[in-house]
Amino acid sequence: MSTDNIHKTVDEESSLISWDTWDGIKHTESFVLLSSVLFVLTFSYAFGRAPVVSDIFQGYHGLAVTILIWSIFALGFNLLLGQTGLLSFGHAMFFGTASYASALFAIHVYNDPLAVIVVGTLAAVALGAVAALILLRLHTVYFSIVALAIGQFLYFLAREPLVEITKGINGLEVPRSPVLGFFELEHQYGGLLGELIVNNLYLFVGVFFVAVVASITRIRKSPYGLIFKAIRENETRTAFVGLDVWRYKFAAFLLSASIVGLAGGLMAVNTQFAGVERLYWSVSGDVVVMTVLGGLGTLAGPVIGTFVFFYFKGIVNGFPTLGNYWLLLLSLSFTTVVWVYRDGIWGMTTAFTGALREPRELLDSLTGGDSTGDSSGGEN
């Protein structure tokens, strides 16, 4: 069978699918919202209990909850770096501060999880407003390093001078009551619902995950989001058209801090613990790796990067012998992916699916022929 005949068959079959229609659907807010809901409903089951798939991943429900929370953290960080172009090495300050604020509020005031998370988020926003007044005066590497310095200052402040409040390296235990007085987070479901979400805690975290995805999608598609992108591409030209760049950077910084603070509050509720290690610089470094590995500036990328990171940390780490080198294996994977695809794993995925959308070019690459050439292409 000649290559020309193959091309003819491919073209006839491809005409049945409208890629333009699919492109129009997949970028709508409704599609993104529906996809995030389906992801939350199926992720824990596929990762920890589904036949065959769970045997491959060897995951478990608790790790699925942790991945969702850290995905919120990565999405918030990506809003600042991927959308606005501001690289912070100190975002752990919002994560840890929100966690501590949530814990202290739960211990001394009121331990309803919703109220606890709101307080943690507001604490992160307040810290973000103060930090922004310092950081947004700086640019490039100076912004990144001073953010790291502020984060480390808060870490050592919580570890030593404020040890009576934070309990230092021992941390704080976070009491947890039912949500709104009747919604027990420990309650486990049976049947199909139990297979999908297991308990109310997963559902609770999943609702916040979907809300964050929907909010970020709205921001990205709004005029505000477009201005964020303009600042990322060329801050000077954005200022030349009459926009107050500092004000938009300040807004992006606060939005990012609020989402990261939400993740910090959720982590305190999930683990019922708040520790000083959540303020440490390595937490900021971890979220940078997750975001860049998955795909900087994309919506799915930070979630994918978080999954890969915690798969190595939580699953590969437990393998005999190989587990001792999980961090080395993660580093090699990160280097390889980012070296070949600047847009990370999501960029690699879109590049592959893009090739599949052009069957003629894909077939030429596989056969070594030239679809526009002479008969020698058919012979090849």
pTM, rounded to two decimals: 0.89
Per-residue pLDDT reduced to its tens digit, 123-180:
999 999 999 999 999 988 999 999 999 999 999 999 989 999 999 999 999 999 999 8
- The dihedral sign for the CA sequence 15, 20, 26, 29: negative
In this structure, the number of other CB atoms found within 10 A of the CB of residue 109 comes to 11
Instruction: Check residue 245 and give its pLDDT.
Output: 94
Q: Which two tokens stand for residue 378?
A: 């058919």
Instruction: Check residue 352 and give its pLDDT.
Output: 80
Instruction: Check residue 378 and give its pLDDT.
Output: 42
Instruction: Report the interhelical angle of 140-159 vs 113-135 (nearest 10°).
Output: 130
Instruction: Check residue 22 and give its pLDDT.
Output: 67
Instruction: Check residue 373 and give its pLDDT.
Output: 46
Instruction: Check residue 5 and give its pLDDT.
Output: 52
**Per-domain boundaries in the chain:** 2-379
Instruction: Check residue 15 and give its pLDDT.
Output: 44
Q: How far apart are CA 361 and CA 160, in angstroms?
A: 62
Contacts of residue 78, Cβ cutoff 8 Å, sequence gap at least 6: 291, 296, 297, 298, 301, 302
Q: Which residues of the chain have pLDDT under 70?
A: 1-20, 22-23, 359-380
Q: How far apart are CA 337 and CA 352, in angstroms?
A: 14
Contacts of residue 106, Cβ cutoff 8 Å, sequence gap at least 6: 116, 174, 175, 176, 268
How is domain 2-379 classified at the architecture level of CATH? Answer: Orthogonal Bundle (1.10)
Q: 103, 93, 104, 105: which is closest to 157 by C-alpha? A: 93
Per-residue pLDDT reduced to its tens digit, 1-40:
454 554 444 444 444 456 667 667 777 888 899 999 999 9
Q: Which two tokens stand for residue 366?
A: 């596989």
3-state secondary structure the chain: CCHHHHHHHHHHHHCCCCHHHHHHHHCCHHHHHHHHHHHHHHHHHHHHCCCCHHHHHCCCHHHHHHHHHHHHHHHHHHHHHHHHCCCCCCCHHHHHHHHHHHHHHHHHCCCCHHHHHHHHHHHHHHHHHHHHHHHCCCCHHHHHHHHHHHHHHHHHHHHCCCHHHHCHHHCEECCCCCECCCECCCCECCHHHHHHHCEHHHHHHHHHHHHHHHHHHHHHHCHHHHHHHHHHHCHHHHHHCCCCHHHHHHHHHHHHHHHHHHHHHHHHHHHCEECHHHHCHHHHHHHHHHHHHHCCCCCCHHHHHHHHHHHHHHCHHHCCCHHHHHHHHHHHHHHHHHHHCCCHHHHHHHHHHHHHHCHHHHHHHHHCCCCCCCHHHHHC
